[in-house]
Amino acid sequence: MDFLRSQGLLQADSTYKTNVNNFPIGVIGTSDVNQRFFPGGVSLFSEESTWSYEALFNAIKALGVIPEHMLGDGCDAISAAV
């Protein structure tokens, strides 16, 4: 978590069809200059919604991770939650 706190960038994305109920799994993390991804958290969503991402981002902020920049895949829910 210290590495995540020291970075100014937080990346977020979700993936589907990785569990029996097809719930989206949200992944957050950061990257370094060598394009290596460092996961900082994983969450199981009941749906990919603005509320889901707001809850995830608020939980990360409560841990002291306050990013200067957010990067997503263009998902409307991620954009609205930021």
Tokens standing for 12? Answer: 């977020």
Integer CA distances (angstroms), 67 to 17, 29, 59, 78, in order: 29, 11, 13, 14
pLDDT of 58: 92
Give me the percent of the chain exceeding a pLDDT of 90. 34
Mean pLDDT across 46-63? 91
Report whether 32 contacts 13 (CB < 8 A). Answer: no
Domain locations along the chain: 2-73
Of residues 80 and 16, more confidently modeled: 80
